[in-house]
Structure 1
């Protein structure tokens, strides 16, 4: 998985490409990404004393388009149905924290990467936005967004970098831990990770 690409998951859609109809999957993501770019580009927000506020605003902006519940369920796959309602609620919270904080530093390292939109495909309640990212060194790689329509809103449930699905990547990791050590072991690892993140 090309984790160096993750900063661009949330920020490059604002940098160019063809104009899509208002309310389309691309336009929906772009609106959120514009807000993320505004936050990471704000000189006042960049100050160390504003880190907590900056992270809170990034969390709010990113959460507006990423459906963490759907992503968590897909990452758990067949293991999801065995969980109780309380377990599902906790897992979604842990998964959300893992994603948000894993990429916070990377998002803030935004460096004017550019994107070229290739196409947008909609099939019923599902959609995919295909794009190509170009770095300052002119390296290129594919970056695709998978979305679904929930209550009239397009929400992202997966991103695919160079053909590798973010959700599938986590699914493989989670399933391996559950198979070899059990679900409690996975929870322990995720809780430990959350504790590290919240530690001063």
Structure 2
């Protein structure tokens, strides 16, 4: 993995995940065009990087708090998790699905939160897009400008009906790699070897190991 790819991947929680819903009311989200939504949220995310010292330092507790309060209502995280797990999701029990979502969310935050201090002095641009009023899924393509060449960061969104209607992000593409697809490849190996419970146990252990590393780093 190149340094540029590693830097942008490490920035996903703020440049990508943060964009999933800062301060978006359901009525506004329902009426807002998908590219306008990404345009506004990207600016808010970058502003947050510059102002929130806890986020800059990779404070997992702070990032998790913001994720639960501001992001999860505007993200189809169940779809993200189901896609990452693959066909085995259909056989999982409700309890297993809840555990998978919780462990996957923690994994994403802990994997990338340590590099928040690097995600500074960024700008962005939105590529022109066309979509029909009856489209149910779209891709909004952006370029993140920072160190070195601009890096492509795309968002796959779906239009949801009913309560909480509006555009919701369910996948991210960084430098040509879809985030959910990357994890699906990893998870399928665990599921084939150990089943759903084995995947849950592996994710739990990885998260505990990452948490222990955070504790040692803070004491050091």
Contact 1:73 1:80 in 2 (8 A): yes
Q: CA RMSD in A?
A: 3.0
Question: What residue ranges of structure 1 are gaps of 5+ in the alignment?
Answer: 15-21
**Following the alignment from structure 2 to structure 1, what is the Cα–Cα distance between the partners of residues 73 and 43?**
12
| Structure having the larger proportion of residues in helix | 2
Question: What residue ranges of structure 2 are gaps of 5+ in the alignment?
Answer: 20-30, 216-220
**Aligned match of 2:141:** 130
What is the TM-score of this pair, normalised by structure 1?
0.78
**Aligned match of 2:125:** 116
CA shift for structure 1 position 53: 6.3
CA shift for structure 1 position 195: 2.0
**Following the alignment from structure 2 to structure 1, what is the Cα–Cα distance between the partners of residues 52 and 169?**
29
**Following the alignment from structure 1 to structure 2, what is the Cα–Cα distance between the partners of residues 43 and 130?**
26
CA shift for structure 1 position 119: 2.5
2:35 to 26, 46, 50: 26
**Following the alignment from structure 2 to structure 1, what is the Cα–Cα distance between the partners of residues 72 and 117?**
16
Contact 1:126 1:149 in 2 (8 A): yes
Q: 1:67 to 1:47 in 2, by over 3 A?
A: closer
**Aligned match of 2:100:** 91
Would you say how many aligned residue pairs link Structure 1 and Structure 2?
Answer: 191
| Structure having the larger proportion of residues in strand | 1
| Greater length-normalized contact order (CA 8 Å, ≥ 6 residues apart) | 2
Does 2:191 correspond to 1:178? Answer: yes
**Aligned match of 1:55:** 63
**Following the alignment from structure 1 to structure 2, what is the Cα–Cα distance between the partners of residues 107 and 5?**
10
**Following the alignment from structure 1 to structure 2, what is the Cα–Cα distance between the partners of residues 178 and 185?**
7
**Aligned match of 2:15:** 11
What is the TM-score of this pair, normalised by structure 2?
0.72
